Structure 1
Amino acid sequence: MLAKAFGSAVFGVNATIITIEINVSQGTKFFMVGLPDNAVKESEQRVESAIKFFGYKMPRQKVVVNLAPADIRKEGSAYDLPIALGLLQASDQLITESLHEYLIMGELSLDGVLRPIKGVLPIAIEARKQGFKGFILPKENASEASIVSNLEVIGVKTIKEAIDFLEGNLTIEPVATNTRDVFFSQLNDYGVDFSDVQGQENIKRALEIAAAGGHNVIMIGPPGAGKTMLAKRLPTILPPLSLHEALETTKIHSVAGKLGANAHLIATRPFRSPHHTISDVALVGGGGVPQPGEISLSHNGVLFLDELPEFKRTVLEVMRQPLEERRVTISRAKVSIDFPANFMLLSSMNPCPCGYYNHPEKECVCPPGAVQRYLNKISGPLLDRIDLHVEVTPVSFDEMTSRRKAESSEAIRERVIAAREKQTERFKETSGVYCNAMMPSQMVKEICQINEAGKALLKSAMERLGLSARAYDRILKVSRTIADLANSDDIRIEHLAEAIQYRSLDRENWAG
């Protein structure tokens, strides 16, 4: 007898429906076709043990399992449940007319208990799109799938529950989630706040400008100056995620298996901080079946690279294209997959190997030339994509012990949102540009116009401070953001002067 069940395969952040055909006929042996990998082939042993545990029999006839379309490689153990249910129907042990109405996924343990799987959200979205009545899956994944409306999400603990539900012997209430309620209840759920940070007002100001314009930042300062503490609080002042951005971000984390059991929607901006020993594949994404890397997991959020010069040169260089194009393309022999990568790059570094170059109190013990060699570990093209270079100085004892309440993230965020609204209005007719940092050079000339006094100041700064030519566009973009924060239509001379000071590493004499 022939039976059909439906599962799904995930490629990139999108899902494809897989038809699982099981035919039980005269003969012997178990055959699985349709480009299954080893994990899928091994499902025979798991399925047999799981159904026997609940008193069902493995057919001792010729069994052919076909995973269609047959030219797409199937990976992972999530096909166990649909194969098992299709096998039971094909051998007349499962009597149901509704198997084809549900998309079914789940990994079986040997006692028939279901284990959680990855990529549930894109699968649920595709199931609704293809008109399935519902989605049968492990109970731990039901909350994640329930984000998708107009789809019955049936969470089951064991294969026996799935069988009884399909036969009508067990009523399981679909898991329902009010997506908007969950989203808005977690929107500002951060565990840190800028009010925790005493002093460092100039750094807070720089991060506010970065958040308002979507600019990339590098912080240079000695150990213990507070670079990491400040970095962790940057997401708290970024504009809140929209519901569309939250769904997009959740899909990426779902595919990567980063959501965990009973997870819902990611409602806060991601903050990823990989260790400096990370490989280029782990950062940008890849693998036999491409998986998202850290830059895609940072999509709509912040990627923080602490101690930037300690990262391998090849790792840093792979970020150059994603920083420009806001996406990553992973190409393999038979497939090419795009992962979104619209993130803010926030990085930090010591000014020299010993960490105390330009320190107000401690003396640098590095040999001559060491500071420049240390800085040269970061390539010019990468620095070219970083708009703000901020020098961080240690906090004084008086500031650390001050009882004065620092400004909260909420207050800073309100100013950032107001500035972003001006930019949304400015770029509403331009596709692919949403904030000042995304402006191409031609648009910079049109939008970031300065008066004669401003031109004189910028010319003087470039000559006296030895600023490089690449600093010119960056200064104009940052000054436009500063003007937006000040609710000014024009870039005034004070906005330009503030932007100039954020180009420390472009100064020819910075490293001595």
Structure 2
Amino acid sequence: MALGRAHSVAVRGVEGELVEIEADLGRGLPGTHLVGLPDTALQESRDRVRAAVTNSGEKWPDSRIILALSPATLPKGGSAYDLALACAVLAADGAVPVADLEKTVLLGELALDGRLRTVRGILPAVLAAKHSGWSTVVVPYVALAEAGLVAGIDVLGARDLREVVEWLRGELLLAKPGAVEREPERVVADLSEVAGQEDARMALEVAAAGAHHLMFTGPPGIGKTMLAQRLPGILPALSEEESLEVTAIHSVAGLLTADRPLITEPPFVAPHHTCSISALVGGGSGMARPGAVSRAHRGVLFLDECAELGVKTLEALRTPLEDGEVRIARRDGVATYPARFQLILAANPCPCAPPRQEDCVCAPTARRRYLGKLSGPLMDRVDLRVQMFAVSVGALNTADAAESTAAVRARVEQARAAAVERWSDFGWRTNAEVPGPALRQRFRLGRDALAAMERSLRAGEITARGADRALRVAWTLADLAGLTVPGADEVGCALGFRDRWAA
């Protein structure tokens, strides 16, 4: 009897867990048996691995082979274990030395001719290997740039199984990742192209400065989508830590490319209004995959024509908006994905949506039913609400261009820097992340500043959650104005943004 070992990683959500792969060559009829809760794709790896080994010029053992993946109680799926399975069999047969194999994590899918193909979740798998104390990881060559984002571990890239075998034998040096440069700032549509709409532009700037949620209502063609599409341009670039967070999610979703291994700008995700709950928050069989809310992490989730989405789809947003993450239970376990995004909603005021509100032909019940899909609890989580109106001909033909994206972005960056400095001792990055109790107790404002809010609470015009969110907006307005503490004007303006709801 001969025994060989190799190691790989099981990715669950954006977390990875090390998997030990043992290959036992014993007596009995020739055959390959895979144990350890494999799914269908992993069961089929027996044929892929055998063909890859023989087509790489190596001999497949003519004996009874048992391949065990541990921990045995952990469900395992996908094709990322192919390379480790092949090396474990070759090690058990004595075809390769075990010295380097015992300290290396192997990732990658094998083609029938031995080529190494990339798989989803390379980045979180390499992070898991590093945190578990492993010194070396071998990945497909095309995923070398993605894996190389992780510092503190030796990352090597191989094009096929033959290269890995020769490396284990000491006959070849595998490729190493080069330096990954942050992409130059991408060209985005400029905010100066939006004519008029001063209130909406101000709300967009406040939303960007404090990471607040925002809703635009108004007739079609008025500029709601234009404004939303220009929000990423005025957001600050992602920090190194945020870039890795976002890149890991996109790696699990299979959206990374070899020429863009690192995401440095806030993502902009705009699903169609016919999307399902699974497409929005995540889902799928086996282990859930990230949805639009997670792909928009540290960026913008734009729901155009939000009144056309299903009620259950909209209500599914409530937990991610409050918690900043989604937890999805499926057959193979619970996947947790971060989902701290900025929600931008856009809707027409009614189904007919004429350019002038007085030309509406909808029945009162139809108007109420149209925007009635947006429940009170959902709208209570939207900090800024702006009703937009048609601009004048003079605004469209004016020769004076509005403020550019660069000018607005400079103010947004200054406001965010002020917020980071103020909340740095607590670990919060934006005003939108600050818990309500901290605002009410540790950073309580004066009675004069809170007078308007107390009147609104007594009158039942806002909820306690709404008051906390208004306070966060007030702090953002103070940051934009260069103030150290919000006053009555900032609190009143924040409450005014919550009143502009045309339901």
- TM-score, with normalisation over the residues of structure 1? 0.89
Task: Report the AA paired with residue 367 of structure 1.
Answer: A
Which residues of 2 match residues 376-455 of structure 1 at below 5 A?
Answer: 376-430=372-426, 434-436=430-432, 438-440=434-436, 443-444=439-440, 447=443, 449=445, 452=448, 455=451
The residue that corresponds to 2:342 in the other structure is 344
- CA change 1:22–1:490 in 2 (3 A) is closer
Q: Which amino acid aligns with 2:5?
A: K
More deviation, 84-93/56-65: 84-93
Q: Match for residue 48 of structure 1?
A: 50
1:325 aligned to 2:343? no
Answer whether contact 1:96 1:167 (CA < 8 A) is retained.
no
1:484 aligns with 2:479: yes
The alpha-carbon deviation at position 150 of structure 1 amounts to 3.0
CA distance in 1, matches of 2:476, 2:297: 22
Match of 1:25? Answer: 26
Query: 2:17 aligned with 1:16, yes or no?
Result: yes
Q: Distance in 1 between matches of 2:224 and 2:363?
A: 25
Distance between the aligned counterparts of 1:249 and 1:165, measured in 2?
33
Q: Give the AA of the match of 1:320.
A: R
Deviation at 1:328, TM superposition (A): 1.7
Rate the CA distance shift 1:403–1:437 in 2: closer, same or farther, 3 A: farther
How far the C-alpha of 1:431 sits from its partner, in A, is 5.6
C-alpha contact 1:79 1:107 (8 A) present in aligned 2: yes
8 Å CA contact 2:436, 2:468 repeated in 1 = no
User: What is the one-letter code of the residue matched to 1:335?
Assistant: G
Please list every run of 5 or more consecutive structure 1 residues that lacks an aligned counterpart in the other structure.
Answer: none
**Could you tell me how far apart the structure 2 residues matched to 1:460 and 1:90 are?**
74
1:100 Cα deviation (Å)?
2.0
Asked whether the 8 Å contact 1:154–1:172 carries over to 2, the reply is yes
- Is 254-263 or 347-356 further displaced after alignment? 254-263
Q: What is the match of residue 205 of structure 1?
A: 202
Q: Secondary structure at the match of 2:364?
A: coil
Letter in 1 for 2:273: H
Which has the larger displacement, 237-246 or 124-133? 124-133
* SS in structure 2 at match of 1:131: coil
CA displacement 1:141-166 (0-9 Å, x = unmatched): 11000011232222222211222222
Whether the 8 Å CA contact 2:287–2:334 is kept in 1: the answer is no
Q: Shift of the alpha carbon at 1:381? A: 0.3
The C-alpha deviation readout for 1:110-138, integer Å capped at 9, x for no partner, is 22222211111111112223333322121
**Pairwise CA distance, 1:454:** 7.4
Q: Which residue of structure 2 lines up, in the alignment, with residue 74 of structure 1?
A: 76
* Matched residue type, 2:310: K
2:20–2:69: 8 Å Cα contact kept in structure 1?
Answer: yes
**Equivalent of 1:306, from 284, 304, 307?**
304
Q: Distance in 2 between matches of 1:446 and 1:92?
A: 66
Moved more, 425-434 or 314-323: 425-434
Q: How far 1:364 sits from its partner (Å)? A: 1.3
Match of 2:268 in 1: 271
For the residues of structure 2 that align with 1:434 and 1:173, how far apart are their CA atoms? 41
| Structure 1 stretch displaced more, 387-396 or 190-199 | 190-199
Give the drift of 1:339.
1.8
2:411 aligned partner, one-letter code: R
1:369 alignment counterpart:
365
Q: Evaluate the alpha carbon distance shift between residue 80 and residue 475 of structure 1 in structure 2; reply closer, same or farther with a 3 A threshold.
A: closer
Corresponding residue for residue 126 of structure 1:
128
Q: 1:169 to 1:213 in 2, by over 3 A?
A: same
- Aligned mates of 1:481, 1:443 — CA distance in 2: 13
- Structure 2 vs 1, CA of residues 398 and 48 (structure 1 numbering), >3 Å: closer, same or farther? same
CA distance in structure 2 between the aligned counterparts of 1:437 and 1:66, rounded to whole angstroms: 45
Aligned mates of 2:158, 2:42 — CA distance in 1: 21
Quick check: 384-393 or 469-478, which moved more? 469-478
| Correspondence 1:256 to 2:253 | yes
Q: Residue 505 and residue 27 in structure 1: after superposition, are their counterparts in 2 closer, same or farther (change >3 A)?
A: same
Deviation at 1:491? 3.5
Q: How far 1:496 sits from its partner (Å)?
A: 4.3
1:314 CA displacement: 0.9
Decide whether aligned partners of structure 1 residues 243 and 456 sit closer, same or farther in structure 2, where only a CA change above 3 A counts: closer
Question: Please, which moves more after superposition, 317-326 or 374-383?
Answer: 317-326
Contact between 1:448 and 1:477, CA under 8 Å: does it hold in 2? no
In 2, Cα distance between equivalents of 1:172 and 1:362:
71
> For the structure 1 residues 65 and 444, does the alpha-carbon distance in structure 2 shift closer, same or farther, using more than 3 Å as the test?
same
In structure 2, how many angstroms separate the alpha carbons of the residues matched to 1:217 and 1:453? 24
Q: Contact (CA 8 Å) 2:141, 2:159: kept in 1 or not?
A: yes
Q: Which moved more, 1:434-443 or 1:107-116?
A: 434-443
Amino acid in structure 2 at the alignment position of 1:413: R
Aligned counterparts of 1:469 and 1:413: Cα–Cα separation in 2: 32
User: Is the CA contact 2:137–2:154 (under 8 Å) kept in the aligned structure 1?
Assistant: yes
Counterpart residue type for residue 475 of structure 2: R
Determine the structure 2 residue equivalent to 1:216. Answer: 213
Question: Paired residue for 2:189?
Answer: 192
Change in CA separation of 1:221 and 1:462 when aligned onto 2, cut-off 3 Å: farther
Deviation at 1:72, TM superposition (A): 0.6
Answer with 37-46 or 132-141: which moved more. 132-141
Aligned to 2:39: 37
Q: Rate the CA distance shift 1:79–1:51 in 2: closer, same or farther, 3 A.
A: same
Q: Which moved more, 1:292-301 or 1:382-391?
A: 292-301
Distance of aligned partners of 1:164 and 1:453 in 2 relative to their CA distance in 1, 3 Å threshold: closer
CA contact (8 A) 2:38 2:77 kept: yes
Return the alpha-carbon distance in structure 2 between the equivalents of residues 213 and 112 of structure 1: 51
Shift of 1:348: 0.5
Query: How big is the shift at 1:107?
Result: 0.9
Q: CA deviation at 1:408?
A: 2.2
For the 8 Å contact 1:153–1:176, the answer to whether it is kept is no
- Distance of aligned partners of 1:437 and 1:35 in 2 relative to their CA distance in 1, 3 Å threshold: closer
Q: Hey, what's the Cα distance between the residues in 1 that align with 2:199 and 2:4?
A: 67
**Cα distance in 2 for residues equivalent to 1:77 and 1:345:** 35
| Contact 1:217–1:389 (8 Å) recurs in 2 | yes
Offset of 1:500 from its aligned partner?
4.2
Shift of 1:290: 2.4
- Aligned residues of 2:188 and 2:230 also touching (Cα < 8 A): no
Distance 1:32 1:166 in 2: 24
SS across alignment from 1:203: helix
* TM-score between the two structures when normalised by the length of structure 2: 0.91
Assess, with a 3 A threshold, how the Cα gap between structure 1 residues 61 and 309 changes in structure 2: closer, same or farther.
Answer: same
**Corresponding residue to 2:240 among 243, 250, 261:** 243
Do the aligned partners of 1:461 and 1:500 also contact (CA within 8 Å) in 2? no
Distance 1:31 1:445 in 2: 62
Residues 1:107 and 2:109 are matched in the alignment:
yes
Kept in 2: contact 1:433–1:439 (CA 8 A): no
Give the residue type in structure 1 aligned to 2:272: H
Q: Does residue 161 in structure 1 map to residue 157 in structure 2?
A: no
Distance 2:399 2:222 in 1: 19
What is the CA–CA distance in structure 2 between the aligned matches of 1:152 and 1:424, rounded to whole Å?
34
